Structure 1
Amino acid sequence: MPKIGSHVSFSDKGLLNAAEEAVSYGSSTFMIYTGAPQNTRRKPIETQFIEEGKALMDKHALNEIVVHAPYIINLGSYKEDTFELAVRFLQEEIRRTDYLGVRNIVLHPGAYTDKDAEYGIARIADGLNEVLAGVKDTNVNIALETMAGKGTEIGRSFDEIAMIMDKVEDNGRLTVCFDTCHVHDAGYDIINDLDGVLDHFDRTVGLDKLAVIHLNDSKNPRGASKDRHAPVGSGWIGFDAMNNIVRHESLQHLPMILETPWIGKEDKTQRPMYEAEIALLSGNLNGRFGGEFLDHVERIDHLFTKKDIHHRDFVLKTWELLKNDAKAKKADGREPMERLYDILFEERLLPDLSEEQLNQRLTVWLAGKEVLKQA
């Protein structure tokens, strides 16, 4: 059974809040930041309801979780103050991660900004050497995240990840986080040739180095180098390809984390689809939601069939329109799930359901009829 969860909030009551949120989605793992990812402000980790959180995790068999390092860490920077801050702050985050008893902290390797990729790779490796030398008393691995290739970020190819690792002395402390959106956006064909991609990764880095999977659909076609996540099934990757990843024998043992965007008409009504996505990918739709939920999905399918709307065709044609027709995008920039929701709303189908509830059912519909047959 795959371990699937989501990014959750480490808020007022720290680990306890995070565990409660993860349980509410039906997670079997989860990922946290130990503070805001955009700044260096941190509460003492000892005050973050750690024992209470671990007790709840034990109750629900949440025995392997992941920490993500803050976005502001850039070990690729040529600026000394930025580089030194990155080293010190990452060391602090590793110690906080170790206090939690978590084995892997995910790190965006860094960006070379005004230099070049060769400089960035060497600089990141130097930074990792310095970081690891200062945290020898911890049991935490740094999981380098595969990146989409946006801007000057490093890690956009398996070769760049391998080159960093080769330059790090204590590289037994380095692992990899495989992000599905990033790998797709970087040009790897995980839709049609997952085995080939994993074979390439194994030859270049080593499958034994994989420690975490980030499960994200993509708003862009393969090779776009954009890094814009989409809810499961509503992007270019699609449910079938993501389900193949979850079920792959080489990956099933790893914690798999959703970072899919929250959706809704307005900021105040936006909600994550984590509960539906986790139930879908773990094969627990009926157990999580029950027969009435699935009947609602059947009714949605009946309506869309009458309107000659096919789930994958609709998603891909909408993204193609938004990508290729600037005038159409400016006039109507609604994404696939927004358009589908609007159809259901206009038809007054299932009018008693909230926006979140209707979007949950749309998430399942986007997975296709075969999922309903197996639920």
Structure 2
Amino acid sequence: MTLIIGPHLSIAKGFKKAGQEAVSIGANTFQFFTRNPRGGNAKALDPVDVEGLRQMMEVHHFGPLLAHAPYTLNMASASAATRDFARRAFTEDLARLEELPCHLYNFHPGSHVGQGSEQGIQWITDILNECLQPEQSTTVLLEAMSGKGSEIGSRFEELRAIIDGVTLEKHMGVCLDTCHIFSAGYDVAAQLEAVLEDFDQVVGLHRLKALHLNDSMTPFESHKDRHARLGEGSLGEGAFAAIVSHPALRDKPFFLETPQEKVADYAREIEFLREAAAQF
């Protein structure tokens, strides 16, 4: 089985260019922001560029790509204006993804900023129920968070509560971020099997559609979101070797969000993960 692994790449120069960068470092997928991560505008799609990406993915046997919503998207905000932006951006992104060879859309559930997680979850599910369409081809992924501040989604129970509130539940899934969940109190370094069992019981492993691979600059259960290169943080290289080779995970797409100076620097981590997965 070929490991599906790739980095987060910029699409500023086009999707085809991003695909070429992925191939150059031994990747067979990549993640990208649907629009400026700190802003609101999305660049118009170029049909020629999109077709170029589609052909490249076929030639190089790419796995699923992962689109990432902007950080400014907060469905759980107490601000009606912020929630309205989230609703509009989400709707636009889902429509654009129907034109791309990408059918996974990841977003941070949001922060309730004082009004409580129950109300925040209600607003999240309200917007999802407005935006999701029966005919869409995209699966929307809730990203598991570290629990800093008033973030929603650091507990598996909160992710399940959101899913349970969505009418079109079949269009929902989860993306586990190793730095986030380790920082949230799920020890994927020392107790991977127990964490997966917990996730399966609460959310269901069938809903796990992607993983972000990041080491953590901060200790276990620190509730911080500080990514580190693989093996240079609190999890250690062994944790990632175990993750990519685990029977319940090894066929999932993995996406690196490790801090690198340039795209080529991801090549070492991709090679390490491929070698680790090949041993099992």
TM-score normalised by the chain length of structure 1: 0.71
1:325-368 per-position Cα deviation (integer Å, ceiling 9, x unaligned): xxxxxxxxxxxxxxxxxxxxxxxxxxxxxxxxxxxxxxxxxxxx
How far did 1:26 drift?
A: 0.6
For 1:253 and 1:195, locate their aligned partners in 2 and report how far apart those are by CA, in whole Å: 16
Q: Is the 8 A contact 2:215 2:229 kept in 1?
A: yes
Task: Tell me if 1:81 matches 2:73.
Answer: no
Task: Tell me if 1:276 matches 2:277.
Answer: no
Q: Which amino acid aligns with 1:2?
A: L
Which residue of structure 2 lines up, in the alignment, with residue 246 of structure 1? Answer: 244
For 1:281 and 1:63, locate their aligned partners in 2 and report how far apart those are by CA, in whole Å: 16
Q: Is the 8 A contact 1:9 1:17 kept in 2?
A: no
1:106 counterpart SS class: strand
For 1:236 and 1:47, locate their aligned partners in 2 and report how far apart those are by CA, in whole Å: 43
Indicate the percent of aligned positions where both proteins have the same amino acid.
38
Which residue of structure 2 lines up, in the alignment, with residue 359 of structure 1? Answer: none
How far did 1:271 drift?
A: 6.1
For 1:2 and 1:209, locate their aligned partners in 2 and report how far apart those are by CA, in whole Å: 19
1:115-165 per-position Cα deviation (integer Å, ceiling 9, x unaligned): 111111111111211111xx3332111100000001111000101101111
Q: 1:226 aligns with which of 224, 230, 241?
A: 224
Which residue of structure 2 lines up, in the alignment, with residue 116 of structure 1? Answer: 116
Which residue of structure 1 lines up, in the alignment, with residue 52 of structure 2? Answer: 52
Alignment of 1:286-301 (within 5 A): none
Identify if the C-alpha distance between structure 1 residues 257 and 197 changes in structure 2 by more than 3 Å, giving closer, same or farther.
same
Q: Is the 8 A contact 1:157 1:186 kept in 2?
A: yes
Gaps of 5+ in 2: none
Q: Is the 8 A contact 1:162 1:204 kept in 2?
A: yes
Q: CA RMSD in A?
A: 1.8
Higher CA-based Rg: 1
Q: Is the 8 A contact 2:25 2:264 kept in 1?
A: no
Task: Tell me if 1:21 matches 2:13.
Answer: no
Q: 2:189 aligns with which of 191, 207, 213?
A: 191
For 1:102 and 1:178, locate their aligned partners in 2 and report how far apart those are by CA, in whole Å: 19
For 1:136 and 1:39, locate their aligned partners in 2 and report how far apart those are by CA, in whole Å: 29
Q: Is the 8 A contact 2:152 2:158 kept in 1?
A: yes
How far did 1:272 drift?
A: 6.0
Which residue of structure 1 lines up, in the alignment, with residue 12 of structure 2? Answer: 11
Q: Which amino acid aligns with 2:275?
A: G
Stretch of structure 1 that moved more, 136-145 or 172-181: 136-145
Which residue of structure 2 lines up, in the alignment, with residue 259 of structure 1? Answer: 257
Matched length:
278
Q: Is the 8 A contact 2:37 2:71 kept in 1?
A: yes
For 1:164 and 1:63, locate their aligned partners in 2 and report how far apart those are by CA, in whole Å: 27
Q: Which amino acid aligns with 1:67?
A: A
How far did 1:220 drift?
A: 0.6
Which residue of structure 1 lines up, in the alignment, with residue 175 of structure 2? Answer: 177
Which residue of structure 2 lines up, in the alignment, with residue 155 of structure 1? Answer: 153
Q: Is the 8 A contact 2:218 2:233 kept in 1?
A: yes
Runs in 1 of length 4+ with deviation above 3 angstroms?
Answer: none
Gaps of 5+ in 1: 264-269, 285-370
For 2:175 and 2:17, locate their aligned partners in 1 and report how far apart those are by CA, in whole Å: 24
1:290-346 per-position Cα deviation (integer Å, ceiling 9, x unaligned): xxxxxxxxxxxxxxxxxxxxxxxxxxxxxxxxxxxxxxxxxxxxxxxxxxxxxxxxx
Which residue of structure 1 lines up, in the alignment, with residue 134 of structure 2? Answer: 136
1:128 counterpart SS class: helix
Which residue of structure 1 lines up, in the alignment, with residue 205 of structure 2? Answer: 207
Q: Is the 8 A contact 2:174 2:207 kept in 1?
A: yes
Instruction: Give the number of the structure whose residues are more often helix, by fraction.
Output: 1
Which residue of structure 2 lines up, in the alignment, with residue 68 of structure 1? Answer: 68
Q: Which amino acid aligns with 2:251?
A: H
1:15-50 per-position Cα deviation (integer Å, ceiling 9, x unaligned): 111101111111022111233221122222245711
Q: Is the 8 A contact 1:10 1:35 kept in 2?
A: no
